Structure 1
Amino acid sequence: MNSADSRMVSRLTQAMMRVVKADAVSDRGQRHILDAETELLSGFEFNIRGTLGNTLYAPIVADIDRDNGTIGVEIPSFDPLTMVAAPEGTTHFKVVSGGAEVDFEQERFVVTNAASD
């Protein structure tokens, strides 16, 4: 089973172009990525063939608090036999989450990630 998404880069580029073009204030060629426009990336799937919603059926609550500079992902306890679509023979799995604070103007970023046991 090949789950790689060979079009991810082109899909992400296309999505980012929508974000850049949403800057209606700046002249063409001088447009910026503004905070409010990044909402256009909501729902972007890095692997279109292996979306999280088609693999993990447990309820997931993600929270970003820009004022406090925190990000969180909460997944309550669940039965993996009924809530995870895994290939036959799978004995273990791990949930990995990541987040980034990106300052497009200063070209700086902070990345954090966490994984389940």
Structure 2
Amino acid sequence: MGREDGVKRHAFRMQLKPGMRSAYQAAHDAIWPELADLLHASGIRDYSIFHDADSNALFAILTVEGEDRRADLPAHPVMQRWWQAMAPLMETHADNQPREWPLEQVFHLA
């Protein structure tokens, strides 16, 4: 979902495990400063995650400004520690990376 101004938006879904919403919220309310710095350094701006109580799904949207360095995140020790902390709360791959399902934009009003 690119835009002409060099800012790209990405939306995806993740899946929370049953009963883990409060723990997930608490972890994000106290996000580690080094993780926030790492995300910003990778080009991520304006990152929001929404919870759907009926399906326990998480819906995320973020923008990437400038060079998109998100591909480097999985190898970073801070990201590895965060994924390890989140693994008990959500569906993950074997390496603890959260499972993500991309969402296709079908409408946008600016």
- TM-score, shorter chain, exceeding 0.5: no
Decide which structure has greater helix share.
2
Q: Larger C-alpha radius of gyration, 1 or 2?
A: 1
TM-score, scaled to structure 1: 0.33
